[in-house]
A and B are shown apart, each in its own frame.
Chain A
Amino acid sequence: MSSPNDTQLAATDTKTGLSAVLAQNAGSFVGLILPVAIILALTIWPTITGKDITRESIFTIMLSIALASSLNILLGYTGYVSFGHVVFFGLGGYVGFYLMAVQGWSLWLAMPMGGLAAGLLAFLLGKAILRLRGGYFALATIGVNEAMRAFINNFKPFGGPVGMTLNFQVYKDYGGAARALSLAFYILAALTLLIVIISYLVRTSKFGLGLLAIREDEDAAEVMGVVAPSAKTWAYVLSAILPGIIGVLFFFKNGSIEPVPAFRLNFSIEMIVMVMLGGQGTVLGPIIGGVGYQSLRGFLLTSPLFKNIQLAVAGALLLVIVLFVPAGLVGWLRNRFPALRRVLQ
């Protein structure tokens, strides 16, 4: 919340009415500074170093940040664990890829369609499975992802188990393959910035307060007047759209799409690890989590000792976080240093 609610305990006694409202306005966007600064720094970095390899590793980090921030709207703000969130990435990717590869659409039109497909799926799922609570919902989301993969595997227009590939000529429209890669990076950077701002606006809005209330106690929230079924559904839709758009971008850059990489369950779990690592329910958390997890993963993948068990390390990491720092890094800092709350949103 961008409100005086989070300010230091010391300042509370004298604060009433108008002054509180003023304080609220003064601090409005302070919490956005750090997240935006990190995204911008990551965007500019490859341009400064001028190395394509740097850009590629930052592409992966950005991808993580964007997906983790999307998931955070559902997981962190609303308190619903979606274990199969990759389904939106995969479905969006498939729909967009089909439009580009088979129907000859441009990336610019295919991306919104991918987002739309993912949002629509989330809306329908929201109506169907968001009434489930806790572990049951998490299980259902895994089921949905597996069902979707099985369906795509047998869906002929999408190429079945073989998937689809983009004709290399397609990249000519974007100034050649090399330019397309760099374009994809800047689009991703813009989308990541967008989701971080959306995440912040949600967190500091009335809608977001309703989500937090649902997370804390759904029944009490309903008694207070939060229309939980619709709030949850919109949170789910909001958390699905960006992954859908990014799916299109990712597979456009990849040049091909297949069911297994599109609906990889591990990827979902990694998203959860990132959100938990950085701090669920905060704007900054998924960013820190994305950067932190990908750096760790990069180290593990190149280390001869860990390269085959890097996912096991991710699992162990999740266990350690849940057991010892359930609030994540940002959450822990917020609790430890209340004075920083305004900055660490």
Chain B
Amino acid sequence: MILQLEGVSKNFGGLRALSDVTFDLPEGQILGLIGPNGAGKTTLFNSISGVYTPTEGRVIFRGQDVTRNKPYEMAKLGMARTHQIVRPLNELTVRENVIAGSCFGREGHGLKAAGKIADEVLEFVGLAPRSDQLAGSLNVGQKKRLEMARALAARPYLLLLDEVLAGLNPSEIGHMVDIVRSIRDQGVTIIMIEHVMKAVMSVSDRLLVLDYGSQIAEGTPHDVANDPKVIEAYLGDPDLALRLMRDETRA
């Protein structure tokens, strides 16, 4: 198991943003994390990656208790992530952004070796022609790929992707899904938060569904999609939803 969560909860004052989340993630899988807005998906990412310290529970990464680790400690241990709202280092070039990812990530390269890795990774995500542009001058789709490149340059064991498909057009989505698959094929374990259902269903090995901070379902994409609790979380009335779905399949 690359990652184990044991009863992870996070409170903000009186608000319980995450409640008793428990799961094991085997190496080499893609876990899709879905749920309605405000379900606590990003909070879960923050609790795993050290941005937040969980109020209760334990996070175990590669056999090590990392519950109270800082974000930079997680990065050194081999966890990398992207942000839902992209956070490029605007005044640095695209290449410098990715070099930084490599320099300070798990392998902690020097500038030269990092430069090489950056060029490879930029080629891989298709940003090579933009290497020397300032990161702030990219469009949203390119910024998302930059976030991805920066995370990949760290050569992580576990990659947390926070809505990398949101805001992309259909062809960009296709491109990004291909990238995600080939990252998994290189042996990197991935957790991805995603709202684009079709994409997340097709790419994930397993899905975990959060609603109001609790995990309400976990399993293969097929099982989860037909789980009445999941449908209720998304659509309100499960019976109505099931009927609608039946109608749709008939039609």
**Chain A interface residues (CB < 8 Å from chain B):** 1, 3-9, 11-13, 15-18, 20-21, 24, 205-206, 209-210, 212-213, 215-217, 219-228, 281
- Residue in chain A with minimal CB distance to B105: A225
C-alpha spacing A216/B88, complex, angstroms: 8
- What are 23 of the A-B contact pairs (CB < 8 Å)? A3-B95, A4-B95, A4-B132, A7-B132, A9-B132, A13-B129, A17-B116, A20-B115, A24-B115, A206-B110, A206-B111, A209-B111, A210-B104, A213-B89, A213-B92, A213-B100, A213-B104, A223-B51, A223-B71, A223-B81, A224-B80, A225-B105, A227-B72
Contact of B51 among A3, A4, A219 (CB under 8 A): A219
A5 B91 Cβ-Cβ under 8 A? no
User: Smallest distance from the beta carbon of B167 to chain A beta carbons, Å?
Assistant: 18
Interface range for B: 35 or more
Complex interface: chain B residues within 8 A of A220 (CB): 83, 87, 89
Contact of B89 among A21, A212, A225 (CB under 8 A): A212
Assess A5 versus B75: contact at CB under 8 Å? Given A217-B87, A223-B51: no
Assess A222 versus B71: contact at CB under 8 Å? Given A20-B119, A213-B100: yes
Q: Does B67 contact A (CB under 8 A)?
A: no
Complex interface: chain B residues within 8 A of A4 (CB): 95, 115, 132
C-alpha spacing A283/B106, complex, angstroms: 30
Interface centre among B96, B99, B132 (most CB of A within 10 A): B132
Complex interface: chain B residues within 8 A of A210 (CB): 100, 103-104
Contact of B104 among A12, A20, A224, A281 (CB under 8 A): A224
Contact of A223 among B49, B91, B106 (CB under 8 A): B49
- Smallest CB-CB A-B distances: 5 pairs: A225-B75, A225-B104, A216-B89, A220-B87, A5-B93
**Chain B interface residues (CB < 8 Å from chain A):** 49, 51, 70-72, 75-76, 80-81, 83, 87-93, 95-96, 99-101, 103-106, 108, 110-112, 114-116, 119-120, 123, 128-133, 150, 154
